[in-house]
Amino acid sequence: MNDIVKLGGILLLFSAIAGGALSVVNAITKPRIELQKKLVLERALTTALPMANKDAIVPVEQDNMLYYKGYKTPDKQDLVGYAFVASGKGYSSTIETMVGVDTTFTITGLSILQQVETPGLGTKIEEVRYGESTPWFQDQFVDKTWNGLAVDKDGGNITSITGATISSRAVTKSIHDGLKQLEATVRQHHSDM
Amino acid sequence: MEIKALLIIAVNAIFIYNFVLSRFLGICPYIGVSKNIDSAIGMGFAVVFVMTLASMATWLIDFYLLRPTESNIFYILFNFKEPPDLMYLKTIAFILVIASLVQFVEMVIQKMSPGLYKSLGIYLPLITTNCAILGVTLINLDANYSFIASIVHGFTAGLGFTLALVLMAGIRENLDMAPVPKPLKGAPIAFIMASLMSIAFLGFSGLKIG
Amino acid sequence: MSISKELFKGFYKENPVFRLALGLCPTLAVSNSVQNAVGMGAAVTFVLICSNVIVSMIRHGVPKKIRIPIYIVVIATFVTIVDLVMAGFAPALHKSLGIFVPLIVVNCIILGRAEAFAGKNNVGRSFIDGLGMGIGFTLALMALAIVRELLGDGKLWGIPVLSSGYEPVLIFILPPGAFLTLGLFLGFFNWLDIKMQK
């Protein structure tokens, strides 16, 4: 019995040292990890809303939907568009896309926030072709509205990636659904006013 | 949670995201313990058992000890200003829980059912370092599964592992009689077989569910 | 054994992946691109060196009965450090390696070296052993990744190297390709062994 207490004590001591060391490392890395997350979000917002001032994009929460309002000038007077995060289940991960639209709900830009799809297949949603500077799959969405937005295999206007229909469909459907919801939410709010 | 969502989790865990053939978890026992069907079944059941228990235990640990929510026990006990975020301790906490769980299960089975111990016992120590166990608990955490969903996922992921293991053992029993080139005997041919099985399982990803 | 032999044994003679068949889960899972392979290799090497050194330092003070749980605590600590640092400084890599970063804890190479080597040898030798085994693991991962990324995606390190006329053999970057490539590599090394014995 005594033996068990002693062994347990040693194990506890080791765990305590480990826990202590980790809390130090956590305290050091935490601000850095949060900064990374913020940077990713900021970069995505500027890609999604190229016409907005990057210091004049503010988050709004309405009817359980979180979205962003983008203004042209830092004094936040002239509204130029909205942005939201669309998320859909891809082949091996949840794909999250930041989507920007102008005030007529026509897509102005998008940026993939998160995906861990199969390299060489699903990851092509972010592929930039040789000689081009922006990802071709995402470029297709620009200037389109939710109406009729679907991959070609479903009779829509987005060319899907060869061998990665699931990923293509996930992105397209999540944007279609999210945009439809955004438009309804925003319009509802405006008619209230 | 509705039954349909749980069924989707089950089909996904067994076929589409099979732990061995699609997620690459539990490869060591898959190659090591697949030489005959009996031991494959023994190992499979041990894994199903421990995976289910581990999913349960780690969900409770995560919800009541690590996650920064109102239900955090430290928050309730010590009157912290806000719930402490201990998520960074997840790896160390989960592996210790799994290691103790395996020890505990071994002791209980030995006392309660010597027959079962005889058939499962030898596989239990191997399970602590089976990455499928820690893997399933981390996936539960990432996917934000509820308590019930975690248990269903743990159980069915174990079944998926068992399925792959038993299928492999069936093939390898017959493979002994096949004229395999000498350098490919053993593990190499087992991996090539695994590749073919994985192609077959890839077909399941075309299933449209949900 | 001389220091250099201690270092080089992990490269070929006792290569953890190809000769000892250890650490196969991450080998299969993250060898789909060379970048992932190098990132994973570096993470494992770091954990391997640190855990070997610590285990060697405490080897006289640890009671035999609970040495394994203590080794696991030591390993898990370093794995968490890697996890946090990677999330802060290489978020893209951290995302694409996913749960295989925390799963380094159960990588049998690390516990295996702690038990078979660091628990019995001095700090210096344990350091060298960890370094050698880590590099050996990285080399094995890279070998697989080069084959898989080149054939399956026509790229190396994310850069297209095969002409645009090359139609990638997709199966190589999918799970079946991982099993097939590893099986053939293991077979190749067996064949080499048989040849050399003759």
- The pLDDT value recorded for residue C169 is 83
Percent of chain A with pLDDT over 70: 96
Which residue on chain A is closest to C149 by alpha carbon?
A120
How many Å lie between the alpha carbon of C190 and the closest alpha carbon of chain A?
Answer: 30
Residue A120 is encoded by which pair of tokens? 């060489």
What's chain B's length in residues? 210
Judged by CB atoms closer than 8 Å, whether chains meet at A22 and B89 is answered as yes
Exposed / middle / buried, residue C68 (Cβ in 10 Å: 0-12, 13-18, 19+): middle
Q: B200 with B54: CB under 8 angstroms?
A: no
Residue type, C156: L
DSSP state of C16: T
Chains sharing 3 or more CB pairs under 8 A with chain A: B, C
Judged by CB atoms closer than 8 Å, whether chains meet at A18 and B92 is answered as yes
- The pLDDT value recorded for residue A8 is 86
- The pLDDT value recorded for residue C56 is 96
User: Among partner residues A19, A92, A166, which is closest to B89 by beta-carbon distance?
Assistant: A19
- The pLDDT value recorded for residue B38 is 84
In a 13 Å sphere around the CA of A113, the CA atoms on its Cβ side amount to 23
- Look-up of token digits 């955090």: B72
Residues of chain B with pLDDT under 50: 210
What's chain A's length in residues? 193
Contacts of C162 in chain A (CB under 8 A): none
- The pLDDT value recorded for residue B169 is 92
How many Å lie between the alpha carbon of C53 and the closest alpha carbon of chain A?
Answer: 15
Contacts of C171 in chain B (CB under 8 A): 199
Query: Would you say residue A65 has pLDDT above 90?
Result: no
Distance CA(C101)–CA(C86), nearest Å, equals 9
- Of the candidates C43, C50, C53, the residue with the CA atom closest to the CA atom of residue C85: C43
User: Among partner residues A15, A116, A130, which is closest to C96 by beta-carbon distance?
Assistant: A116
Residue B190 is encoded by which pair of tokens? 């087992």
Judged by CB atoms closer than 8 Å, whether chains meet at A10 and C70 is answered as yes
Judged by CB atoms closer than 8 Å, whether chains meet at A29 and C85 is answered as yes
- The pLDDT value recorded for residue B54 is 95
How many Å lie between the alpha carbon of B204 and the closest alpha carbon of chain A?
Answer: 12
Residue A20 resides in a domain: no
Judged by CB atoms closer than 8 Å, whether chains meet at A26 and B88 is answered as yes
C92: containing domain: 3-197
- The pLDDT value recorded for residue C133 is 95
Alpha-helix runs per DSSP H in A50-117: none
The answer, for A131 touching chain B at a CB cutoff of 8 Å, is no
- The pLDDT value recorded for residue C152 is 86
The helix, strand and coil proportions of chain C, stated in percent and rounded to the nearest 5, come to 75, 0, 25
Query: Would you say residue A158 has pLDDT above 60?
Result: yes
Residues of chain C with pLDDT under 70: 1
Distance CA(C68)–CA(C70), nearest Å, equals 5
In a 13 Å sphere around the CA of B106, the CA atoms on its Cβ side amount to 14
Partner A, chain C 142-171, Cβ-Cβ below 8 Å: 149, 152-153, 155, 160, 164, 168, 170
Characterise C118 by phi-psi region: left (phi > 0), alpha (psi -120 to 50), beta (else). Answer: alpha
Chains sharing 3 or more CB pairs under 8 A with chain C: A, B
**Residues A25, A27, A32: CA angle, nearest 5 degrees:** 95
Judged by CB atoms closer than 8 Å, whether chains meet at A91 and B205 is answered as yes
- The pLDDT value recorded for residue A175 is 94
A107: containing domain: 48-192
Judged by CB atoms closer than 8 Å, whether chains meet at A19 and B92 is answered as yes
Query: Would you say residue A189 has pLDDT above 90?
Result: no
Dihedral, CA of residue C44, residue C45, residue C51 and residue C55, to nearest 10: 130
- The pLDDT value recorded for residue B196 is 94
Q: What ipTM is given for this predicted complex?
A: 0.89
Q: C85 with C46: CB under 8 angstroms?
A: no
The answer, for A26 touching chain B at a CB cutoff of 8 Å, is yes
Least confident interval from A67-76, A95-104, B198-207, C57-66 = B198-207
How many domains does chain A contain in total? Answer: 1
Query: Would you say residue A80 has pLDDT above 80?
Result: yes
Per the prediction, chain A carries an average pLDDT of: 87
User: Among partner residues C80, C98, C170, which is closest to A22 by beta-carbon distance?
Assistant: C80
Judged by CB atoms closer than 8 Å, whether chains meet at B96 and C176 is answered as no
For A86, the enclosing helix (H) or strand (E) is strand A79-89
- Lay out the sheet containing A65-71: strands in order across: A57-62, A65-71, A79-89, A94-102, A107-114
Residue A15 resides in a domain: no
Contacts of C190 in chain B (CB under 8 A): 182-185, 188
- pLDDT, one tens digit per residue, over A44-53 is 999 999 988 8
How many domains does chain C contain in total? Answer: 1
Which residue on chain C is closest to B19 by alpha carbon?
C25
Q: C22 with C109: CB under 8 angstroms?
A: yes
Contacts of B96 in chain C (CB under 8 A): 69, 72-73, 76
- The pLDDT value recorded for residue B210 is 45
Q: B55 with B133: CB under 8 angstroms?
A: no
CB pairs under 8 A between A and B: 14
Per the prediction, chain B carries an average pLDDT of: 86
Mutate to test the interface with C, among A118, A128, A132, A166 (most CBs of C within 10 A): A118
- The pLDDT value recorded for residue A193 is 45
- pLDDT, one tens digit per residue, over A115-124 is 877 766 778 8
- pLDDT, one tens digit per residue, over C15-63 is 888 888 888 888 899 998 899 999 999 999 999 999 999 999 999 988 8
